[in-house]
Structure 1
Amino acid sequence: MKTNSLFEKLDKTLSPIGAKIGNQIHLKAVSTGMMLTLPMIVIGSLFLIVANPPINPDLIDPNTTNIFLKFLLSWKDFAVKNYSLITTPYDMTMGMLGLITAFTIAFSLASEYKMKSAMSGLISMAVFLMICAPMSDGNIPTEFLGTNGLFLAILIGIISVEITRLIEKKGFEVKLPSSVPPAVTAFINSMFPLLANIIILYGLNIIVKIIFGVSIPQGILQLLNPALSVVDNIWGFLLIVTFGNILWLIGVNGTSIIFPIVFTLGITNTGLNAELIAAGKEPNIYMNLQMFRATVLGGAGNTLGLCILMLKSKSVHLKSLGRLSTIPGICGINEPIIFGSPIVFNPILAIPFIITPIVTVSMTYFAQVFGIIGTGHIVDPSFTPFFIQAYLSSLDFRNVIFSCVIVIVSIFIYYPFFKVYEKNILKQESAQN
């Protein structure tokens, strides 16, 4: 009865908010546009996994190991030598997510308005390139073409369509004689929205650069990189991790923003623990790399539990998404879930997305402090299945069991919110059918 009562309260509180936000035309376009990028995200992520086999060669003696680990060592050697070739599909999909999203969101919003969707998408993409990737000496910078430029891609996708829509509403078009072919008239009139978008959006970028000395995307990154230097404790660490996850909720790659701080901290402290081990002492620095791994177990927001819940969902969409996302999630890649659910701009799933890492990071910290698990003293390879990372971090099987417990905890935290969201999705699917 208590569980049902909780579901009813959550449903009564969150469902109206979710429905209202879900029906808002701009947020609906963001959701649809991000869904269109899902195949790119999934396939690109698979190649990143291939390029990062789950083994640390520094821990293995190739002369005495078994045939399976020898295979992994050969795979690792091949991946290191051919890394750029293997990751090219990732670079051209996930690495271009901002550019792709600029097109898909504008396309989706224009479709909602019954405008020329393809042309709107092209205008948005062109303006995005002008602002985020201006050519210099024949080279196009890629820093903001991926997830770093996603927030700006969302803004440009929406604003560019609204500018085009305003021009169409005001009737800014050339009236040509009927003898002129319609295709020629359409071509001439399509130039006005593009010109207006360039003048307004790219012009704004020029003004910002002249006044502040940085472009709009550079300025946004600087604003989103707070001066949080004191994170070498559980409270500062939780604060910056939560800040990163809040950024994800508005479409900004929060992990990439906080990564330089938390990963550098983790690497440094893990190295200090390794020195203690080498000196015959017990490792006692708890803010190590293992703590960072706990923040992204299943990806930002610890969404592996959500993936597992989706596998059993009655919703066709959520079940398919769960199948697509579980294997990447095991390796810490969860863009399919974040943009496919979506969690971005989703008030229902945003709550457990914020809460779960706070709980799991706190659990990991105190589990190290009280000796329930081994303290991290080894730099494990990235994009490795979470249970392998858990073992390699301290060569302690208790860590593997503990990481599985964390996944179970995430399932319990996500469950009530997932059920409310699933109910809304089922209603939409029923209405469509």
Structure 2
Amino acid sequence: MAAFEKLYESAFMQKLQAWGGKLQSNKALNAISSGMMSAMGVILAGAIFTILATLLNLAGVLETTDTLYQWLTTPYNMTMGILSVVVSFAVGYVYSRNLGMTSNLASGVVTLILFLMVASPVQSVTLEDGSTMSALNTTWLGGSGLFTALIIPLVAVRIMKFCQEHHIAIKMPEAVPQFLSDAFASLVPLVINIFLWHGINTLCEMVLTTQLPGAITGLISIPLAPLTSVPGLIVLAIISQLLWGFGIHGTIAVYPVIMAPLLTYYQTNAELVAQGLDPVFAPIAIWGVLNCCGGSGNVLSLTVMMLRAKSEQLRAVSKAGIVPVLFNLNEPIAFGAPIMYNPVLIIPFILNVAVCMLVVYAGYMVGFFQPGYILIMTTLPVVLQSFMPSLAWQNLLIAPLVFVISFVIYYPFFKVYDRQLCEKEAAVKAEAEVQAA
């Protein structure tokens, strides 16, 4: 414990905590953090049905084409599948409240509308029978559109705040109910925001042939394309984890970069195995190490620690998130701890991935771990995630190995963060007792 006391009191940790305090007190970053945490219920609800569908599929009870399987995945599609829609509303609502605005609900509605406008504008679709219908493309409504769902509220609410401060609004008589007055007050800034965001989105479609979320993801992925060697993949993984720390779905951001070599790797090895030959190693094989033990950042070890935390917040989050994390769904912990915009936890979140990838790479090099030849395009439970692509017993040990390494790396930072939260919780309780007295 003395070692942790020294770590907690070290200049590095003191500066890190001070920086974290500044980030958390920032009104915009606080809105992002609070908005994401408010989506916890949505995330967990979607995870429950995903886990049930996955278990029934793995047990051979259901095929992915079965009606019941589709029924079970519908709640996921309408929760995690539209996560960015929820976040766009929540961040807009919280940010307007942080800025002292009165029309918080209207602000959330406006930011939700703006996000839908750029991420999923209504399209006319022709069906097989020749009839047409209006439809929304869901490509960018889930985690892939999250960064856009964070940017729009921060800018749009600021525009609304400017209009409010400078009385640029339609004024209603005092006898009009407040909710109706707020709705009319938001009309002018809404029109301004529509021109701004619809214009930017149209420009992206004309110049980049994609919508704004796709343009953002594409621009992020361009400089990452050459990183397909072992050192390059580790750098790519570090960048992916860093993006997670800033509220960007890092896995999706780098997906265009890793997809081609990943498909080539599995296709080549599948052909070799079909010919009776052994599959061969390629650098892309180590990519899955970054999310094989609890999702991106290998947060299973962190979740286990949180179950025994002194902080009430961490214990509550871990109890809610342990089952999804066992199925490699990291969102409950990433949003709930939170890891995003948390400099204390983002360091081990990044560091453990780099170390684990190097260790597993060494295992491949000595011939212990076996290359994969089965492309798995879905999330599987811990252990199965690294076993199924190769069906080699050796690869059953990848997840336990990663768990141990990540546990060692997370532990000192977890202890510091747990103590930090305990101090805050104690201060809140003391204040509540004073007010009650």
- TM-score normalised by the chain length of structure 1: 0.87
In structure 2, the residue matched to 1:294 is 289
| Bigger Cα displacement from structure 2, 245-254 vs 18-27 | 245-254
Gaps of 5+ in 1: 57-71
Aligned residue runs from structure 1 range 390-405, under 5 A: 390-405=386-401
Displacement of 1:125 in angstroms is: 0.6
Once the two structures are superposed, the pairs formed by residues 16-165 of structure 1 within 5 Å of their partners are: 16-53=18-55, 72-73=59-60, 75-77=61-63, 80=66, 82-115=68-101, 116-137=103-124, 138-165=134-161
Q: What residue is the counterpart of 1:192 in the other structure? A: 188
Counterpart contact for 1:35–1:340, Cα < 8 Å: yes
Determine the C-alpha separation between the residues in 1 that align with 2:388 and 2:171: 70
Tell me what 1:67 maps to.
none
Residues in 1 aligned to 2:371 and 2:171: alpha-carbon distance in whole angstroms: 74
Distance 1:284 1:182 in 2: 68
CA offsets 1:67-115 (integer angstroms, 9 cap, x no match): xxxxx12x24376554432211111111111111010011111222332
Relative contact order, CA 8 A, sep 6+: which one is greater? 1
SS at match of 1:142: coil
Whole-angstrom distance in 2 between the partners of 1:401 and 1:162: 51
Higher mean C-alpha displacement, 251-260 vs 25-34: 251-260
CA distance in 1, matches of 2:99, 2:24: 16
Opposite residue 219 of structure 1, the aligned amino acid is A
Query: CA separation in 2, counterparts of 1:276 and 1:211?
Result: 42
CA distance in 2: counterparts of 1:421 and 1:410, whole angstroms: 16
* Contact residue 265 and residue 287 of structure 1 kept, 8 A: no
One-letter amino acid of the structure 2 residue matched with residue 24 of structure 1:
N
Determine if the alignment matches structure 1 residue 373 to structure 2 residue 369.
Answer: yes
Unaligned runs of 5+ in 2: 125-133, 430-437
Comparing 44-53 with 247-256, which one deviates more in the overlay?
44-53
The Cα offsets for residues 221-271 of structure 1, whole Å up to 9 and x where unpaired, read as: 220222645555311221222222222122111112223443553443244
Partners in 2 of 1:184 and 1:228 — Cα distance? Answer: 48
Contact 2:64/2:70 (CA < 8 Å) preserved in 1?
no
Using the TM superposition, give the Cα deviation of residue 25 of structure 1 relative to its aligned residue in structure 2, in angstroms. 0.9
AA aligned to 2:21 is A
Q: State whether residues 225 and 258 of structure 1, in contact with CA within 8 Å, keep that contact through their aligned partners in structure 2.
A: yes
The farther-off stretch of 421-430 and 80-89 is: 80-89
CA displacement at 1:384 relative to structure 2:
1.9
TM-score calculated relative to the size of structure 2: 0.86
Give the whole-Å Cα distance in 2 for the aligned partners of 1:350 and 1:389: 23
Q: Which residue number in structure 2 is paired with residue 62 of structure 1?
A: none
Residue correspondences, number: 416
Q: How far apart in 1 are the matches of 2:336 and 2:174?
A: 46
1:148-197 deviation per Cα after TM superposition (whole angstroms, max 9, x unaligned)? 11111111111121111111111224455566676664443332232232
Pairing partner for 2:353 from 354, 357, 366: 357
1:399 is aligned with what amino acid? N
Does 2:327 match 1:327?
Answer: no
Q: Secondary structure at the match of 2:369?
A: coil
The answer as to whether partners of 1:32 and 1:108 remain within 8 angstroms in 2 is yes
Question: Matches of 2:14 and 2:179 in 1, distance apart?
Answer: 52
Give the letter for the 2:115 counterpart.
Answer: F
Q: Which residue of 1 aligns with 2:433?
A: none
RMSD over aligned Cα atoms: 2.6
